[in-house]
Chain A
Amino acid sequence: MNEEQLHAYADGLLDREERVRIEAALAASPADAARVNAWMRQNELLRATFSPVLDEPIPGRLRLVPGRRKWLPYAMAAAWVVLGVAIGVGASGLLRDRAAESASLPRRAAVAHAVYSPEVRHPVEVGAAEQEHLVRWLSKRMDSEIKAPLLQPLGYELVGGRLLPGEQGPVAHFMYQDARGQRLTLYVSSRKGNPRDTAFRFSQEGRVAVFYWIDGKLGYALSSELDKATLLKVATSVYQQLNP
């Protein structure tokens, strides 16, 4: 038996016949048997030490890799949306009636989406790995029970979230993305006025499609660059989860 066969034995690369032959030879050579045993333990130790990495959530920056250059035109489009929306918000900022509140919600949500969704390295403040902490933190700051809906069945995983300043108080902002790096964001704003509910509404803000509604003390807006029909499916799921 040669050195290469001993390694192949330790690595389980031999067929049955060869294995039996090597085992017989090792029985007659305790020193070789000890070496081969040590190698097998090394393999086990290496796999046991590093295999937990396989179960870690994959960081967003790795899932998004080839999209990096593809984001450039989106980022530029987004910048135009931000500019346009900023002018729009500026013009309507003084209007305080209900219609204005309803109208500003999708605009603000679209701005937040346009600003944060192209981020490759820092898309969120708190990552999905700390989801419990994220939800607790946002709930506390919003003074309401905030939930991050589960969109995995639709192919969207939570990237994480952040806290934003809103028109009438803090805003909780959650980001999701699918396997291709397509992102959508859920904007949850706190309201000062009387609690009320509105129906499900749609607004196209430049490239960004937004479904939004008001539910008691909170305003919700789901934004993405998906087409309306696809986004509606996601929005319906979000709505159902928040209003079981």
Chain B
Amino acid sequence: MDPDIAQHIPRLRRYARALVGDRYRADDLVQDTLERACRKFHLWRQGSDLRAWLFAVMHNVFVNQVRARRIEVEEFEDAAALPTQMERIDLLDIEKALARLPVEQREVILLVGIEQMGYGEVAKALDVPIGTVMSRLSRARERLRALLSGEPDAAHGANGANLKVVK
């Protein structure tokens, strides 16, 4: 393996673990990412940020797997699936709280919080406008805050932002 790529493996593993939760599925994601990165290495522009490129590759692999349902995503978007009061007590666990964020919010809060990427870098890695990064970050943080503090309306998301009201 190219040693430049190899040196990023620990960070890719850390991010994948936070993103997917399960250790083995996270390493599967890293392995698929590395395979793809090695195949596409000629597409990486010498001199540009290799870390950002690798995280972009991982994002693409992850999104494809989520679409193909190879990674099961636990989400609680509608009111019917809201956690009960008893469950909420358990939510002090950050890993469980993370699992309750929509994947696109989870990606943003992890790249910013764990990888300490700038918002522009995150936008590039996820291939979305910076405004989208900011709104996802905002929602992710409010939701996580509510989940971790056990607020009654926790899983509804910040200011009901994720709750679609049908009139």
Interfacial residues, chain A to chain B (CB-CB below 8 A) = 3-4, 7-8, 11-13, 35, 38-39, 42-43, 45-47, 49-51, 53-56, 58-59, 61-68, 179-181
**Which of the residues B1, B13, B114, B148 comes within 8 Å of A65, measured between beta carbons?**
B1
B17 cross-chain contacts in A, Cβ below 8 A: 50, 53
Question: Does the CB pair B9–A58 fall under 8 Å?
Answer: yes
Q: Which residue from chain B places its CB closest to the CB of A61 in the assembled complex?
A: B31
Q: Within the complex, what minimum Cβ distance (angstroms) separates B111 from chain A?
A: 11
- Docked complex: B121-159 residues within 8 A CB-CB of A: 134, 137-138, 141-142, 144-145, 148-149
Q: Within the complex, what minimum Cβ distance (angstroms) separates B125 from chain A?
A: 15
B56 cross-chain contacts in A, Cβ below 8 A: none
Q: Within the complex, what minimum Cβ distance (angstroms) separates A26 from chain B?
A: 16
Between-chain CB contacts (< 8 Å), 30 pairs = A3-B134, A7-B138, A13-B119, A35-B145, A38-B141, A38-B145, A43-B112, A45-B94, A46-B18, A46-B110, A47-B113, A49-B18, A49-B95, A50-B14, A50-B114, A53-B10, A53-B17, A54-B14, A55-B10, A58-B10, A58-B13, A62-B13, A62-B30, A63-B1, A64-B1, A65-B31, A66-B2, A179-B1, A179-B6, A180-B1
Question: Does the CB pair A54–B11 fall under 8 Å?
Answer: yes
Q: Answer whether residue B116 sits at the interface, using C-beta atoms and an 8 A cutoff.
A: yes
A53 cross-chain contacts in B, Cβ below 8 A: 10, 13-14, 17
Q: How far is the CA of A98 from the CA of B6 in the complex (A)?
A: 46
Q: How far is the CA of A55 from the CA of B134 in the complex (A)?
A: 31
A-B CB proximity, top 4 nearest: A66-B38, A65-B34, A53-B14, A43-B113
Q: How far is the CA of A211 from the CA of B163 in the complex (A)?
A: 69
Q: Answer whether residue B78 sits at the interface, using C-beta atoms and an 8 A cutoff.
A: no
Question: Does the CB pair A181–B9 fall under 8 Å?
Answer: no
User: Which range holds the interface residue count of chain B?
Assistant: 35 or more
Q: Which residue from chain B places its CB closest to the CB of A54 in the assembled complex?
A: B10
Question: Does the CB pair B14–A51 fall under 8 Å?
Answer: yes
Total inter-chain residue pairs, C-beta < 8 Å: 97
A63 cross-chain contacts in B, Cβ below 8 A: 1, 6, 9
Q: Answer whether residue B109 sits at the interface, using C-beta atoms and an 8 A cutoff.
A: yes
Q: Answer whether residue B35 sits at the interface, using C-beta atoms and an 8 A cutoff.
A: yes
Interfacial residues, chain B to chain A (CB-CB below 8 A) = 1-3, 6, 9-11, 13-15, 17-18, 27, 30-31, 34-35, 38, 94-95, 109-110, 112-114, 116, 118-119, 134, 137-138, 141-142, 144-145, 148-149
Question: Does the CB pair A65–B27 fall under 8 Å?
Answer: no
Q: Within the complex, what minimum Cβ distance (angstroms) separates A52 from chain B?
A: 9
Q: Within the complex, what minimum Cβ distance (angstroms) separates B104 from chain A?
A: 17
Q: How far is the CA of A66 from the CA of B40 in the complex (A)?
A: 11
Q: Within the complex, what minimum Cβ distance (angstroms) separates B31 from chain A?
A: 6
Question: Does the CB pair B9–A62 fall under 8 Å?
Answer: yes
Question: Does the CB pair A59–B144 fall under 8 Å?
Answer: no
Q: Which residue from chain B places its CB closest to the CB of A44 in the assembled complex?
A: B113
Q: How far is the CA of A8 from the CA of B18 in the complex (A)?
A: 22
**Which of the residues A38, A45, A179 comes within 8 Å of B3, measured between beta carbons?**
A179
Q: Which residue from chain B places its CB closest to the CB of A48 in the assembled complex?
A: B94
Question: Does the CB pair B38–A39 fall under 8 Å?
Answer: no
A46 cross-chain contacts in B, Cβ below 8 A: 18, 94, 109-110, 113-114
Question: Does the CB pair A65–B38 fall under 8 Å?
Answer: yes
Q: How far is the CA of A43 from the CA of B138 in the complex (A)?
A: 13
Question: Does the CB pair B34–A11 fall under 8 Å?
Answer: no
Q: Within the complex, what minimum Cβ distance (angstroms) separates B146 from chain A?
A: 10
Q: Within the complex, what minimum Cβ distance (angstroms) separates B50 from chain A?
A: 15
Q: Which residue from chain A places its CB closest to the CB of B98 in the assembled complex?
A: A46
Question: Does the CB pair B1–A39 fall under 8 Å?
Answer: no
Q: Within the complex, what minimum Cβ distance (angstroms) separates B12 from chain A?
A: 9
B14 cross-chain contacts in A, Cβ below 8 A: 50-51, 53-54
